[in-house]
C-alpha cells in the first residue's frame, strides 16, 4: 500500500542552524516525490520535486532533498534556517491518480 | 508557474445552509482537480477527484450527496457543502493538474478555504 511517513511531528531549531526533515515512503511503482510547505491558514506551496535523474534536487528558498531508493527516503534539508521558514512541511508521493501526503512536520525557529 | 485560485478564502455560514467553494486554474487547463480536507494539525485527506465533464470520484467514507462536486469546464471545479453542520467546519483545499507541457504529474494547490459552520 502507498503511504508516506514523516517521523517527526514537531522540530525546533535555532535560526542559522541546519535542518533536516525526514520522509519515508512506500510506493508500488517508481515514485514521484514532493515537498510542500504550508504557512498558517494558507494553501500548499511546492518546495521541490523529484521525478527522475539526479537524486539530489534543489528547490526554492534554499531547500534541497535527496532521494535514496535503497532507504525509501526523501529527506529535506536546509543548511541555514531563517525565521521565515517556520511553517508546516508535508512530504508527498504519487502522481497519476492522486497524491499521498505525510502527516506533516511542524517547524519552529527560535532566535 | 501555474496558478490555482480558490474562493472564498474563508466563509462562515449557519447550520443547515449550503456553501459553494470555487477552484479555478488561472493559466492552464485542468482536466483533473482534487479536493482535500484538512483538520487542524493534520495532513490533507483526499475527498474526491474531479474530472472535467464527468462525475467526480469520491474516496471511501465521503458522502457524495453532502459534498457536491461539479467540474463543468477545464478551468473551474466547485465543491458545494450541502446542509452544512458544525462538524463540516474545516480547511478545504483544491489542487489541479496541468496535463500540458509535460507536467502531468505535478499538482498545483489553491490557497484553501476556511469553512466555519455556526
Closest residue by Cα to residue B35 from B49, B24, B25, B19: B49
Give the residue from chain B lying closest to A95, CA to CA.
B105
Nearest to B44 among A46, A51, A101 (CB): A101
Closest residue by Cα to residue A35 from A77, A87, A91, A80: A91
Kindly report, residue by residue over A7-26, the tens digit of the pLDDT: 999 999 999 999 999 999 99
Label residue A97 by pLDDT band (50, 70, 90).
Answer: low
Q: Measure B45 CA to nearest chain A CA, in Å.
A: 8
Q: Percent of chain B, pLDDT > 70?
A: 94
Three cell numbers, residue B103: 507536467
**Average pLDDT for B76-98:** 93
Query: d(Cα A92, Cα A48) in Å, to the nearest integer?
Result: 11
pLDDT, greater one: A88 or A95? A88
Label residue B36 by pLDDT band (50, 70, 90).
Answer: very high
Q: Measure A80 CA to nearest chain B CA, in Å.
A: 25
Query: d(Cα A49, Cα A70) in Å, to the nearest integer?
Result: 18
Tell me the count of A-B CB pairs closer than 8 A: 49
Instruction: Confirm if A27 and A44 have CB atoms less than 8 A apart.
Output: no
Give the residue from chain B lying closest to A103, CA to CA.
B43
Amino acid at each position: 500500500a502507498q503511504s508516506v511517513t514523516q517521523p517527526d511531528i514537531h522540530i525546533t531549531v535555532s535560526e542559522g542552524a541546519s535542518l533536516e526533515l525526514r520522509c519515508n515512503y512506500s510506493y508500488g511503482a517508481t515514485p514521484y516525490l514532493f515537498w510542500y510547505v504550508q504557512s498558517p491558514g494558507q494553501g500548499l506551496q511546492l518546495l521541490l520535486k523529484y521525478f527522475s535523474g539526479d537524486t539530489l534536487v534543489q528547490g526554492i528558498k534554499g531547500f534541497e532533498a535527496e532521494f535514496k531508493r535503497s532507504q525509501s527516503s526523501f529527506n529535506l534539508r536546509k543548511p541555514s534556517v531563517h525565521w521565515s521558514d517556520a511553517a508546516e512541511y508535508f512530504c508527498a508521493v504519487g502522481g497519476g491518480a492522486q497524491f499521498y501526503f505525510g502527516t506533516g512536520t511542524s517547524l519552529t525557529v527560535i532566535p | 508557474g501555474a496558478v490555482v485560485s480558490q474562493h472564498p478564502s474563508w466563509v462562515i455560514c449557519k447550520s443547515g445552509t449550503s456553501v459553494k467553494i470555487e477552484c479555478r486554474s488561472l493559466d492552464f487547463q485542468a482536466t483533473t482537480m482534487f479536493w482535500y480536507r484538512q483538520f487542524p494539525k493534520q495532513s490533507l485527506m483526499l475527498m474526491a477527484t474531479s474530472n472535467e465533464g464527468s462525475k467526480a470520484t469520491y474516496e471511501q467514507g465521503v458522502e457524495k450527496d453532502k459534498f457536491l462536486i461539479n467540474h463543468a469546464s477545464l478551468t473551474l471545479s466547485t465543491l458545494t457543502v450541502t446542509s452544512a453542520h458544525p462538524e463540516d467546519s474545516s480547511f478545504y483545499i483544491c489542487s489541479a493538474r496541468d496535463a500540458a507541457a509535460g507536467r502531468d504529474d505535478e499538482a498545483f494547490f489553491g490557497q484553501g478555504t476556511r469553512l466555519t459552520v455556526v
